[in-house]
Amino acid sequence: MSTENSKAKVNKSLLGTLLSLFDIRNVIGSLLTIYGVILLLMGLFGDPEVEKTGGPNANLWAGIVLLVIGGSFIAWGLLKPVVPDAPGADKANEEE
């Protein structure tokens, strides 16, 4: 029985790892972070186009905000991961 329990624990950790990679918080955080890096680089090295925005460098500030929001989504996904039950875990608990 202990080998079945250890197998269930291994399956649960593997399944949890795979599902945490495709957690919607990580996907959204990654996309926001990528767009934030692009906008930040455009704000730093591109033409600021101050006449269009009325003063502030819009690409720079939007990039910073997107990096903060994307980083918070990724941190949220890492600090509070979704850990599903392994398939068949209910049956193993009922047998014990």
**Over the stretch 34-65, which tens digit does the pLDDT of each residue have?**
999 999 999 999 988 888 888 889 999 999 99
- pTM to 2 decimal places: 0.71
Q: Structure tokens of 32?
A: 């926001």
CA 84 from chain centre, in angstroms, equals 17
86: left (phi over 0), alpha (psi -120 to 50) or beta: beta
Q: Structure tokens of 45?
A: 């090295």
How much is the pLDDT for 94?
A: 63
Q: What average pLDDT is seen over the chain?
A: 82
Q: Structure tokens of 54?
A: 């009325």
- What integer is the mean pLDDT of 19-39? 91
Higher pLDDT: 90 or 78? It is 78
